[in-house]
């Protein structure tokens, strides 16, 4: 039977907007209010090799996050040594490991080690929709052997349509062990995060489905699925009982003041990047140079296929006249 859970990653994905410097008071308020709203999983930030800073949502250890709420932490593979997990006492937090296709084999060994240590882990293959069916088959065979808590489909480029979402989830659902949760992390480059998520939720699953969202879509580039949009939808259509008022409190007190200074969300350059299957950082860089939309389209159309999904500043500069 399908169970739909909501994962809010405002403090992690939203951190790209402000270099993760939310401030201690805002961090505590966001955590408290997400918990009051009944959000199932709360992503506190990134695990990094760093000095702990109470104003920033980078964490030096899982022991640094609250153990009284259902937290998750993100690790970009290669940025946090697996050995550090041997020293941790708080295994309440779920660990989400994001990795590029080129680093998949090493990342899966990392994930297997965490699972063996007793951690509940999500595998997050970046730009999942760029995998061929054969590549997905190989990935799923390994995931089924490792048996992590979940596998997240990541629309890094923000270029998936409803048919794409349903096709990849159907393909994976048929091959992935039912005990493993399936997640969806979308980006709003084509203004389709909400409609794509609704299309996903209309499918039949016999597993846990985890939907990523951020308050007001706060995130890099065009941003993400909005928590305040999907939350009432889940209440009205999926039998959930979330409380919207604490989310609105986060909007008023934390997110809106940031947006007024450093806005994010849909814009034509991010749409163009998605159309060409390019990483949104290409659009961010070109926007910073005040290049016209027409010129951005011309430049991004020339990015080689094998360079599209990973931002390459030196390559990009070669196309700027």
Q: How confident is the model at residue 92 (pLDDT cuts 50, 70, 90)?
A: confident
Q: What is the pLDDT of residues 222-253, one digit of tens each?
A: 999 999 999 999 999 999 999 999 999 999 99
This prediction's pTM: 0.94
Count the residues in the chain: 321
pLDDT of residue 90: 81
Residue-wise burial string across 68-83, b where 16 or more C-beta atoms lie within 10 A, e elsewhere: ebbbbbbbbbeebebe
Instruction: Say how far apart CA 204 and CA 10 lie, in whole Å.
Output: 28
pLDDT of residue 103: 96
Q: Is 122 left (phi over 0), alpha (psi -120 to 50) or beta?
A: beta
The whole-number average pLDDT for the span 49-77 is 94
Question: What is the percentage of the chain residues whose pLDDT exceeds 70?
Answer: 99
Provide the mean pLDDT of the chain.
95
pLDDT of residue 1: 53
31 contacts: CB under 8 Å, gap ≥ 6: 11, 42, 44, 66, 69
| pLDDT for residue 86 is more than 70 | yes
Rg (CA), the chain: 19
Q: How confident is the model at residue 321 (pLDDT cuts 50, 70, 90)?
A: low
| pLDDT for residue 317 is more than 90 | no
Q: How confident is the model at residue 282 (pLDDT cuts 50, 70, 90)?
A: very high
Instruction: Say how far apart CA 313 and CA 34 lie, in whole Å.
Output: 37
Helices 280-288 and 293-300 sit at what angle, rounded to 10 degrees? 140
pLDDT of residue 318: 86
- CA-nearest of 218, 142, 209 to 182 is 209
Instruction: Say how far apart CA 48 and CA 34 lie, in whole Å.
Output: 23
For residues 275 and 51, is the Cβ–Cβ distance under 8 A?
A: no
| pLDDT for residue 89 is more than 90 | no
Q: What is the pLDDT of residues 103-162, one digit of tens each?
A: 999 999 999 999 999 999 999 999 999 999 999 999 999 999 999 999 999 999 999 999
β-strand partners of 315: none
Q: What is the pLDDT of residues 208-226, one digit of tens each?
A: 999 999 999 999 889 999 9
The whole-number average pLDDT for the span 25-44 is 97
CA 94 to chain centre: 14
Helix and strand numbers (H, E) in the chain are: 13, 9
Question: What is the percentage of the chain residues whose pLDDT exceeds 90?
Answer: 91
- CA-nearest of 204, 267, 193 to 230 is 193
- CA dist 3 → 145, 178, 276 (Å): 23, 12, 35
pLDDT of residue 214: 98
């Amino acid at each position: 039977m399908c169970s739909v859970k909501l994962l809010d990653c405002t403090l992690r994905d939203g951190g790209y907007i402000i270099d993760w410097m939310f401030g201690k008071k805002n961090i505590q308020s966001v955590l408290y209010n997400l918990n009051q709203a009944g959000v199932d999983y709360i992503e506190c930030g990134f695990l990094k090799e760093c000095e702990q800073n109470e104003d920033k949502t980078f964490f030096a250890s899982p022991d640094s996050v609250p153990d009284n709420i259902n937290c998750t932490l993100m690790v970009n593979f290669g940025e946090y040594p697996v050995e550090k997990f041997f020293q941790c006492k708080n295994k309440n937090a779920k660990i989400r490991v994001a990795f590029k296709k080129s680093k998949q084999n090493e990342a899966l060994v990392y994930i297997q080690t965490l699972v063996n240590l007793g951690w509940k882990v999500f595998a997050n293959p970046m730009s999942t929709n760029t995998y061929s069916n054969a590549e997905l088959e190989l990935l799923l065979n390994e995931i089924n052997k490792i048996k992590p808590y979940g596998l997240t489909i990541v629309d890094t480029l923000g270029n998936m349509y409803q048919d794409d979402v349903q096709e990849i989830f159907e393909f994976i659902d048929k091959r992935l062990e039912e005990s493993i949760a399936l997640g969806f992390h979308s980006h709003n480059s084509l203004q389709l995060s909400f409609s794509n998520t609704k299309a996903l939720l209309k499918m039949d699953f016999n597993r846990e489905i985890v939907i990523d969202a951020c308050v007001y879509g706060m995130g890099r580039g065009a941003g993400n699925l909005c928590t305040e949009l999907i939350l009432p939808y889940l209440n009205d259509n999926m039998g959930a009982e979330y409380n919207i008022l604490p989310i609105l409190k986060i909007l008023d007190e934390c997110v809106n003041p940031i947006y007024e200074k450093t806005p994010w969300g849909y814009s034509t350059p991010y749409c163009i990047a998605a159309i060409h299957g390019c990483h949104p950082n290409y659009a961010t860089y070109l926007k910073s140079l005040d290049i016209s939309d027409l010129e951005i389209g011309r430049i991004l159309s020339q990015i080689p296929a094998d360079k599209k999904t990973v931002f390459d500043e030196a390559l990009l500069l070669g196309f700027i006249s």
